[in-house]
Amino acid sequence: MLDYDDALVGSIMNNNYLEIQPENTVKEAIKTMVANAPEVEFINNLYVVDDGVLIGVLSLKEIISAGNQPKALIKDIMTENLITVTPWTKNEDAILLMKNYDFLLLPVVDQDGKILGVVAFDDMFEVLNKESDEDFSKLAAVSDVTIDIEKETIFSTVKKRLPWLIILLAINVITSSIITGFNSVLTMIPVLAVFMPLVLNLAGNTGTQSLGVVIRLFATNQLDTRKEIRKHLYREMITGIINGIAIAIMLFILVFLVRLISGDSFAHILPFALVIALSIAVALIISTLVGSLIPLVISFLKADPAVASGPFITTISDIISLLIYFGLASLMLASYL
Amino acid sequence: MDEETKILQEEHDYKETITRLIQTHQGNSSKLESMLTEFHPYDLSRVYCDLDSLTRKQLLQAFNPDFSASIFEHFSEEEAISIIQSLPAVDAVKIIDRMESDDAVDLLHYLEEEELDISLVHRLSPKKRAEINKLWAYSEDEIGSAMSNSFIRLTCAMTVREAMKKVVAIAGDTEYISIIYVVDEHQLVGYLKLKTLIIARAEEKIAYIMETRLFYAHPGDDKEDVALMMQEYGESSMAIVDDTEHLVGIVTHDDLMDIISDTKSEDYARFAGLADGDIDLKTDTVLDSVKNRLPWLSVLLLLSMGTSLILSLFEGSMTASAGAILLSSKLAVYLPLILDMAGNSGTQSLAVMIRYLTGGKPELTRKTMGKYLFREVGTGILQGALIGILVFLLVLLTNWITTGILADHRSLLTGIVTGFALWLTLTISTILGAVIPLGLDRMKIDPAVASGPFITTITDIIALSIYYAISLAILLPLYL
């Protein structure tokens, strides 16, 4: 058998299925079934094969119900409308077929309709698990989230995580230099530091959310055409604007309350709360777009989309949010100081 | 290769054929029905949804209710609701009566959720009503809600010949026949595969050939737990028994597939801080997308206020003098870096733990849990130390670039404090990323509730407390 990419059906199919001839009678088919049943894992479907080509299928239920007409020919009672996959079908698509049709087995055929094997539902569970592992690895910036509790050591764990952390640290040097650049603003208005983590955190979270959506859309083949991508980005932008405004209003109120309690005067708080609310609105809108744009750009460049992990997006959105936050603060609060 | 795949998939798209059949034979519904039975009800359901509402109504009314019901079972939530509402109650009742009970209950639940009329349940046949009542009691998360009653029961006293006779007689009307359950006065005593029955000698007693090593769940058990159990045990169905070991139903492979893929997208969505992982670009509106995200963001906003409140506490000492203000502006420089790194390492260990807990791995015993946590602690300490050293060097380098002095007393101490704070926060956040989902799991809460954004926010609060407390205690005297 050829080597298939492990994301394709060819890698999980097996030869464990029952084959009957179209010219067989029901009685002969039952005999074949009885003779082969011990070796075949699932006998739920009998595949009708003519000269290697899959031409029909009979379920176990149908053949048993047909037991009262032993002379009937298989070709007259079989189902001809087949649902098949090829070895090059993506596992994800095969799972969808099995789910929609409530199948326990799916026949695999080649381009000439010749039967090559079957995939069974239990193999699909492994695929589903593996997919989840990959999704989580991507989203969390770990080389591989799966562990074998007996074999995994501190060093093997560090090896999977530290390289990503070092890359992220390197990007974070940018955040530090931005703040260094705005140091004069910060010494004049120390209270800006108080709300900095909050702004960064929320922007990072929205970025992670839209990244999560894009990764799911990629996995379900919903971003294949230019039109779909445009539609998605447009929707992300509007979502970012609505979320940005909603969170900005909530934050404005919260900042107001917190600063009032800590004894600031009303005239002091107003411009300050405005700056924070405005920065969060802009930061959220941009981070939402960044979360969906970066994975798209990366896949467009044919690079490993795993680079676009949650932590990576968070760090990028940190950089952007800091620029917005301090930029707006120095613009709007300079006169008021 | 891609071309070939495409051609094959087009060949299997029966939608066009079905649509044509419906158009040409619409007038003769019995002929149409016999032609349509050659297709899978799923394909029929897809075509059906694209029909105009009048044709829809006419067809469902004309078809045999059994046939209509089999199509109905493949509708999505929204489709089922809109179609059931378009039908006269009398036809709706006929169809629901023939649906599998678990699908019928799902449909009624949808109707109830949408606050629509479910009084038609009173017009169902007494048998169906009894079955629905039995399932109605279970919440959506409990396996009882997915139970099916359409399978074959045998008794141990039967011979293989008698059993085969029964199987042949009822197989056609039974949904699931691959595994046959053996009961004694309703009590589950064994099971056997139809395969085994087929190849057994006619005179043998069922009691003799059945498997007695039983695998079962209780109807109140969590769906996801049962799905994990079924995966381990590798059969296509599992028995559901009540407290007295009476067989009350079974769960089959197709339910299992639904549960697993729902769980998968649910876990993933939570991890990304989304309310729902099933995103359909075609039907989802901006409003859906906002609804999916804004609630989580609002919760995280409130949690994030924690960071501001803690920083407000330090504000007094940070603004007490010109020196203190200078120090606090310097501290702010590394604040995003520290918070970001803490969040990142927390997210990493969170992902590993969630996948361990939900991915069908062997359950953590006291011993393996100790080992797991020890490894996380060690990982946190080790990578925290390495990142800490890197940041220490970074602080010195920055100082050298900005002031031209490689290492004076103040920058050396700043570097040590920053590096140490980073080491401590990375260690703690790595541990938290593992402990929080584990704790949730022990409290019987789905560990996937702990999302990446949630962990990031928690580690933010801890990281900045550590950073400011240590820095102010050690560095403040230098700036006075």
Q: Please give the domain boundaries of chain B with CATH numbers for all domains.
A: 14-136 (1.25.60.10), 153-269 (3.10.580.10), 286-479 (1.10.357.20)
Both A78 and A178 in a single domain? Answer: no
Q: What is the pLDDT of residue B104?
A: 85
- Between these two residues, B261 and B474, which has the higher pLDDT value? B474
Hey, how many other C-beta atoms are within 10 angstroms of the C-beta on B119?
A: 8
Is the domain of A222 the same as that of A168?
Answer: yes
Q: How confident is the model at residue A38 (pLDDT cuts 50, 70, 90)?
A: confident
Contact list, B354 vs chain A (CB under 8 Å): 136
> What is the pLDDT at residue A305?
59
Q: Looking at the structure, do residues A167 and A313 belong to the same domain, yes or no?
A: yes
Q: What domain range is A329 assigned to?
A: 154-333
| Chain B environment of A68 (Cβ under 8 Å) | 168
- Among the residue ranges A292-306, B129-143, B338-352, the one predicted with the least confidence is A292-306
High-pLDDT (> 70) share of chain A, %: 96
- Whether residue B174 and residue A310 make contact (CB cut-off 8 A), yes or no, is no
pLDDT of residue B189: 93
Q: Which is more confident, A47 or B260?
A: A47
Distance from C-alpha of A284 to C-alpha of A198, rounded to nearest angstrom: 12
Q: Please check the confidence at residue B313 and state whether its pLDDT lies above 60.
A: yes
Q: What is the pLDDT of residues B429-471, one digit of tens each?
A: 999 999 998 988 888 777 777 778 888 889 999 999 999 999 9
How high is the pLDDT of residue B103?
Answer: 84
Does A216 map to a domain?
yes
Are B345 and B429 in contact by the 8 Å Cβ rule? The answer is yes
Query: Can you read off the two tokens belonging to residue A68?
Result: 């009262």
pLDDT tens-digit map of B195-219: 888 888 889 999 999 988 888 999 9
User: Do A205 and A318 reside in the same domain of the chain?
Assistant: yes
Query: Could you tell me the pLDDT band of residue B294, with boundaries at 50, 70 and 90?
Result: confident
Min distance B244 CA to chain A CA atoms (Å): 30
DSSP character at residue A18: E
CATH number at residue A116: 3.10.580.10
Q: What is the average pLDDT score of chain B?
A: 85
Q: A234 and A102 share a domain?
A: no
Is the residue at A211 inside a domain? yes
A-chain residues near B460 (CB < 8 A): 197, 201
Single-letter amino acid code for the residue at B274: L
Highest mean pLDDT range out of A264-273, B30-39, B186-195? B186-195
Residue ending a domain, choose from A81, A106, A126: A126
Residue B16 has pLDDT above 60, yes or no: yes
How far is B87 from chain A, CA to nearest CA, in Å? Answer: 24
Distances (CA, A) of A9 to A81, A87, B96, B258: 21, 5, 37, 20
Q: Cβ contacts (< 8 Å) between A8 and chain B: which residues? A: none
Residue with token string 């009398």: B90
CB pair distance less than 8 Å for B355 and A146: yes
Dist CA A196 CA B464 (whole Å): 11
pLDDT bin (cut points 50, 70, 90) of residue A284 is very high
Q: Which of B12, B177, B343 faces A82 most closely, judged by CB atoms?
A: B12
Strand order in the sheet with B179-184: B153-155, B179-184, B187-193
Cα–Cα separations (whole angstroms), residue A18 to A41, A63, B179, B193: 10, 13, 18, 16
Number of structural domains chain A divides into: 2
B179 close to B194: Cβ distance less than 8 angstroms: yes
- Chosen for mutation from A76, A145, A171 (greatest number of chain B CBs closer than 10 Å) is A145
| Window from A176-185, B158-167, B281-290 with minimum mean pLDDT | B281-290
User: Does some domain include residue A146?
Assistant: no
- End-of-domain residue from the set A126, A142, A174: A126
Residue B359 above 80 pLDDT? Answer: no
Structure letter (DSSP) for residue B318? H
- A28 in the same domain as A100: yes
Regarding whether A17 and A115 lie in a shared domain, the answer is yes
Domain identity same for A235 and A316: yes
Chain A residues whose CB is inside 8 A of the B375 CB are: 152-154, 157
Which one-letter DSSP state was computed for residue A41? S
CATH number for the domain including A284?
1.10.357.20
- Do A231 and A116 share a structural domain? no
Confidence of residue B152 (pLDDT cuts 50, 70, 90): very high
Tell the residue number behind the tokens 């770990």, with chain if given: A142
Among A126, A145, A176, the domain-final residue is A126
Nearest to A158 among B1, B7, B379 (CB): B379
Pick left, alpha or beta for residue A320 (phi over 0 → left; psi -120 to 50 → alpha; otherwise beta).
alpha
- Are A172 and A95 in the same domain? no
Mean pLDDT is highest, among B59-73, B100-114, B147-161, for B147-161
pLDDT in tens, A203-252: 998 998 888 888 878 777 777 788 888 888 988 899 999 999 999 999 99
Percent of all residues in chain B with a pLDDT value above 70, rounded to a whole number: 96
Q: DSSP H helical segments within B114-252, as ranges? A: 126-136, 160-170, 194-199, 206-209, 223-233
Outline where B63-152 has alpha helix (H): 65-72, 77-86, 89-98, 101-113, 126-136
Provide the whole-model pTM. 0.76
**Is the same domain home to A159 and A244?**
yes
Whether residues A72 and A171 fall in one domain: no
Q: From chain B, pick out residues whose CB is under 8 angstroms from the CB of A176.
A: 333-334, 336-337, 394, 398
B284 versus A78: the higher-pLDDT residue is A78
Is B401's Cβ below 8 Å from some Cβ in A? no
pLDDT of residue A24: 92
Residue A2 domain-assigned (yes or no): no
In a domain, A142, yes or no: no
Of the candidates A81, A86, A318, the beta carbon closest to that of B5 is on: A86
User: Is B268 part of the contact surface with chain A (CB cutoff 8 Å)?
Assistant: yes
Query: Does position A83 have pLDDT exceeding 80, yes or no?
Result: yes
Q: Is residue A149 part of a domain?
A: no
* C-alpha to C-alpha distance for B432 and B347, rounded to whole angstroms: 10
- Residue A333: CA count within 13 A, CB half-sphere: 28
Which of A160, A213, A168 has the alpha carbon at shortest distance from B351?
A160
pLDDT for A1 equals: 47
Digit-coded pLDDT (tens) for A158-172:
888 888 888 888 888
Q: Given a cut of 50, is residue B117 above it in pLDDT?
A: yes
B456 CB near a chain A CB, below 8 Å? yes
> Model confidence over A62-77: pLDDT tens digits?
888 887 888 999 999 9
Residue A34 belongs to a domain: yes
Among B265, B351, B361, whose Cβ lies nearest the Cβ of A139?
B351
Average pLDDT in the B307-313 region?
A: 85
By residue count, chain A amounts to: 337
Mean of pLDDT values over B373-379: 91
For residue A258, is it within any domain? yes
pLDDT (0 to 100) of residue A21:
93
